[in-house]
Structure 1
Amino acid sequence: MTKPNKGFVSLYISLLTLILIFNGCEDPGSVGNSYIDEPTTVIDTLFLDNIAVENFQGYSGNLQSISIGKYSDQMFGDIQTTGLVRPIRNPNIPDSLNIEGNNFSLKLEIQLDSVNTYGDTLSVSEFSIYEITSLWRGNSYRLDSELTYDEGTEIGSFTIGQEKNIIVDLSDSWKDKYATYLNSDEANIDSLYQYEFHGLAIVPTGNTNKISFPNTSNSRFLILNEGMTDTAAVRLRNWAYNSERTNVPQNAVKTSLHSTIEEMMKIDIPFSQIRDKHQTSNILKAELVLYEDSIGLAQTLPTSHYRPDVNFINIDLATTSQKEFQYQLSEHAFFGFKSQDAPYYKANVTNYLNNLLFGQENNSEILIGLGSTSGILRSTSLYNQSASQQLRPKLIITTIVNEEN
């Protein structure tokens, strides 16, 4: 045997000895184990039966986008949306652009959302533009707000195919009317503009079968000189959209959710039942599980048709005041998420349930919805208490129980 091999064997024996000594010191042995209770994890599934549908008219003014178009959705009914836009009265106009003699043209530039279209993405949609004849305010506008416009005089028209940026020529008569407010020196011109000049309605026409979403940050009016060599951008002062949904298919085992909060699911958590069973339990985790009709959603979309994705749902505690604001525009209590291929949403409601049982929370009603400030129309369908048991909404409660000898 060579000297290097002898050294390796000596080192191996020394290391083995140290390991045995170390293990002997760390091993708790049978004595320690006999005095420690092993915790037991218990998982209970509670199916939720006290479920109802709540309907609201959500806000649609001054959101991030507006909706224009119409679409016949096999699952969610026939939807028609009309866009409303009004320019600011005092845009920044360069000196090189003379507007006093009305020797300019006025256009509307519409920048569409680059990702989302609702409906037949390969179709061409048609629109007419009319002057609005009633007073409206963007901040308080809702889906069902009353609005009138002059259908007798078309201010402009356009189509949407595959392009994402559209520039629409507007009539000289409407341009001249706008110019009177631009060029006025009256002290009360802002008030007159507010109450007399109401902007434009973008109305879907023809065989339109999709809904598009103009981005309100990048959509604007354009003032151009006669030679179209100089341009002034005119931002939107107010914007909104009207929405009407008809011919909605009814299904007793499913509840629809919409980003417009037209329909939401209300669940009354069975507080007394949970308290009686878990009042002395250590709740490790509580999850709310809601199953989506993913098969139905897929089967009701023909080739080339698309619905904007829904990746999470909002969960709010029920309120008795400012419901539309709470469920659509304010911060939500918690969220339910789904993985890419999962047919259900799962929400961690551990803190809420512990507060309900052991803390100061006394509100056992929660609202499930898709309320959003984006303006993009999104919808999904969840199974309710009338579905088969494996698809019904449920609470999964995980507790720890210490076993006594």
Structure 2
Amino acid sequence: MNTAQYRALASRNILFLLLTSCLTFLIVGCEDPGVVGGGFTDTNTAVKVDTLMVNGIETESYNFYSGNLTYFSVGQFSDPLFGDMKATGLIRPQLISTSSEMADTANMKLRLVFNQDVIYGDSLHTAEFDIIELNQVWRGNAWNLKDEPQFDENATVASFTVEKEDSIEVDLSESWMQAYREFATSEAADRDSTYRINFPGLAIVPKSSGKIIPIDAQESDFIIENPESDTLQVSARDWAYSLDRANVSAAPSQTFKLHSTFEQVINFDLDLTRENIGSVNLSKVELVFYEDRSELDGSLSQMPPSTGRAPITSARLQLVEPSNIPIVLQTGSILSNANYDEEEGSYRFDITSFTNSVLIDGIPSELKFYVSLETNSGIIRSSLIHDEEAPAEKRPKIIVTYVQNQES
């Protein structure tokens, strides 16, 4: 069976799913883990709950795209669990049209809009940055997280600091503005391609360690102030960021690391056959992973109270061909999305409909399950998840709720 045939399984079982879902209203209560019963108007049926452990979890690491995403991150922070991180941003303005005026006495600024709700590090830290002219050809769509930006430390265009501001406008140097103006006022037929190759833009380089800040790429722009005519707002043509992690320790015992950047994801197989699940009258099937909240919180306990990691709201479950990794992690369809349960510290993937489908037709052997954090949006998020060696109540598991006929 190929992947396309598998994707059609659900539609062939719609009637079956409708019938089995009608049984859900009979449930009056159940406990997890173990096998429990419930009270019913029909005394010949009972609700049961089985718990199946997930084994064979493997981690995979990738150097994935980090350009032209929703955000790009800048800053430095030393995380006891996830290493010493340095995020350097890259940005280049669009080339204005030949009909737009740019005076030789114009002033040029860079306006950066920050997302202060997802700071990684000490939110009260005053972060320092230099804006430095890049000296390499690059494209946002082709930039990877571990690519190294090339620049001359002496080619500083501006400097700025950030504490809790939502945005900031930074005056760029006269020499850099004039270099941009040469391309902006050119009437050559190849001005655009020449600009792309010979005007690489700017690097935003952290100069202090304390926090990493996401920049909203769509809201940020360049501002050209003409003294005697209109002010121009110029959007970014390309943007990206690179992330260097140093002094990274192994994950604590009985855990594995996950990163929203795809620096680490997990894969595994699930046995969802009728022989293993044991019933076709399924009311609910959940795949559950538990965060090691104690280790995550404890690792920051010696830092200021204003220190934290970017919050994680969800995780993604996909069933894909490993040969299509990692691009499919970003672009492929999602089998299930699990919201983070703060009270339980868990991610619960609802795979009921999927399991009902594959009980009959099975899972194509060439496919594997993958779990990753959030979306790769340019915001750096990391977590620690209990593995199959953790205490039983924290191990990854499948929780199966089903209806059983007492007379069968």
Shift of 1:337: 2.3
**Number of equivalences:** 362
Name the residue aligned to 2:93.
Answer: 87
Give the alignment of 1:2-401 within 5 angstroms: 38-90=44-96, 98-99=102-103, 102-205=104-207, 207-226=208-227, 230-250=230-250, 251-271=252-272, 274-278=273-277, 281-301=280-300, 302=303, 303-359=305-361, 361-363=363-365, 365-401=368-404
Q: Distance in 2 between matches of 1:92 and 1:346?
A: 54
Shift of 1:75: 2.1
Shift of 1:371: 4.7
Distance 1:386 1:340, change over 3 A: closer
Structure 1 stretch 300-309 or stretch 236-245: which is displaced more? 300-309
Aligned-CA RMSD value: 2.1
Shift of 1:39: 1.5
Distance 1:277 1:185, change over 3 A: closer
Q: What do the CA deviations read for 1:1-51 (whole angstroms, capped 9, x no partner)?
A: xxxxxxxxxxxxxxxxxxxxxxxxxxxxxxxxxxx7712222111111211
Contact 2:126 / 2:161 at 8 angstroms: preserved in 1?
A: yes
Name the residue aligned to 2:17.
Answer: none
Q: Determine helix, strand or coil for the equivalent of 2:130.
A: strand
Q: Distance in 2 between matches of 1:238 and 1:193?
A: 12
Q: For residue 389 of structure 2, what is the amino acid of its counterpart?
A: S
Q: Determine helix, strand or coil for the equivalent of 1:326.
A: helix
Q: What do the CA deviations read for 1:212-245 (whole angstroms, capped 9, x no partner)?
A: 1111111111111348x85211110010100111
Shift of 1:261: 1.0
TM-score (norm 2): 0.83
Q: Distance in 2 between matches of 1:264 and 1:297?
A: 18
In our comparison, the structure showing a higher alpha carbon Rg is 1
Q: For residue 252 of structure 1, what is the amino acid of its counterpart?
A: S
Contact 2:82 / 2:248 at 8 angstroms: preserved in 1?
A: yes
Contact 2:145 / 2:243 at 8 angstroms: preserved in 1?
A: yes
Q: Distance in 2 between matches of 1:312 and 1:239?
A: 25
Q: What do the CA deviations read for 1:374-399 (whole angstroms, capped 9, x no partner)?
A: 32111111101121222110111122
Q: Distance in 1 between matches of 2:318 and 2:249?
A: 26
TM-score (norm 1): 0.84
Distance 1:355 1:201, change over 3 A: same
Q: Determine helix, strand or coil for the equivalent of 2:322.
A: coil
Contact 2:285 / 2:399 at 8 angstroms: preserved in 1?
A: yes
List 4+ stretches of structure 1 deviating above 3 A. 91-94, 277-281
Q: Distance in 1 between matches of 2:99 and 2:70?
A: 25
Contact 2:340 / 2:346 at 8 angstroms: preserved in 1?
A: yes
Q: Determine helix, strand or coil for the equivalent of 2:326.
A: helix
Q: Which runs of 5+ in 2 are unaligned?
A: 1-41
Contact 1:261 / 1:371 at 8 angstroms: preserved in 2?
A: no
Q: Which runs of 5+ in 1 are unaligned?
A: 1-35
Contact 2:274 / 2:280 at 8 angstroms: preserved in 1?
A: no
Q: For residue 236 of structure 1, what is the amino acid of its counterpart?
A: A
Distance 1:185 1:59, change over 3 A: same
What's the % identity of the aligned pairs? 33
Q: Distance in 2 between matches of 1:339 and 1:277?
A: 27
Q: Determine helix, strand or coil for the equivalent of 1:390.
A: helix
